[in-house]
Amino acid sequence: MLFKRNLFIISKLPIVKTRSWSSKSINAFCNLFDLSRGEFDSYRKETNIPSLEVEHLNEISNLRERINIPVQEWLLFPSLLKENARHLEECYLQLKEGGFERIDARILANYRRLVQKSIRLLKAGGYLSAHVSVTESFLKHLNHKLSIENLSEESTFHFVYRTVLTHCLMSRFNTTQSVIEKFFRMYPIVKIKSFQTHLENFQLADKLNFPTDDIFQCGFLLSTHPKNTYRLLREVPTLAGMDIHEAIRLKPRLLRIPSKKIKEIYRCLRMM
């Protein structure tokens, strides 16, 4: 009973959003993106970017450095500053896994538009090498063998990715295409994740001993980034007297709650 009450309280914790730029955020932006205060003010007016937290700015800057995109090029696309860094990384990895050789700021900012283009048009536009097989490129990033015929070059990049992912999930969890299609409709974010992330989540499914039915009916495991799940396992080993592995199997929605929120509610309960 206490376990269920704790889960309810945790789920109701408010998310506080900052509405105006703080001095810390402004200083962080200037330092991370090499701008003077005057240049920042001009850039903010021109692009109308909303206030961003220091943590968010650090995550975006770290991603930019990891994928080696110059600062000035990044600033040309304000949408890259507003997006979640982890989401951008998934987009980057997915494009790379599918055969994109060079991914610059323009390509990353136009991810949604590009993945809806046919393979033929992507090759004609120089985004993909003329000799690359997108199907084979994706398959190379799986740790178990799948046999899928190369799809028509009139297929979109996203269609090829989704087809490979569907076959991968069917094979890995011994389930049907109809189950996977329903799962995609319920958790569309899964269709944006890289195969690198999917493979890590497959390992977590084994570690947590997740039943296959729960994986697709609840969907929280495959739609949550593995770093978040590992952090929860590490920082909250027990929950309401229950081993966290067992708690997650009982209430998979726990995977969507940040570990810091759970620790926060524990602090509140101790003060009651």
What is the dihedral angle through the alpha carbons of 224, 101, 108, 32, rounded to the nearest 10 degrees? 90
Question: What percent of the chain shows pLDDT beyond 90?
Answer: 71
Q: Delimit the domains of the chain by residue range.
A: 22-82
Q: Which residues of 54-82 are buried (b: 16+ CB within 10 A; e: fewer)?
A: bebbebbbebbeebebeeeebbebbebbe
CB under 8 Å to 152, separation ≥6 — which residues? Answer: 119
Task: Give the model's pLDDT for residue 156.
Answer: 98
Q: Tens digits of per-residue pLDDT, 213-256?
A: 788 888 899 999 999 999 999 999 988 788 999 999 988 889 98
List, in sequence order, every residue forming a beta bridge with 79; answer none if it has no partner: none
Task: Give the model's pLDDT for residue 19.
Answer: 60
Task: Give the model's pLDDT for residue 15.
Answer: 46
Helix or strand holding residue 71 (H, E): helix 71-75
Q: Tens digits of per-residue pLDDT, 156-177?
A: 999 999 999 999 999 999 999 9
Low-confidence ranges of the chain (pLDDT < 70): 1-19, 269, 272
Task: Give the model's pLDDT for residue 5.
Answer: 55
Task: Give the model's pLDDT for residue 121.
Answer: 98
pTM: 0.85
Task: Give the model's pLDDT for residue 240.
Answer: 78
Q: Taking all residues of the chain, what is their mean pLDDT, rounded to a whole number? A: 90
Task: Give the model's pLDDT for residue 12.
Answer: 53
CB under 8 Å to 74, separation ≥6 — which residues? Answer: 33, 64, 80, 81, 105
CB under 8 Å to 27, separation ≥6 — which residues? Answer: none
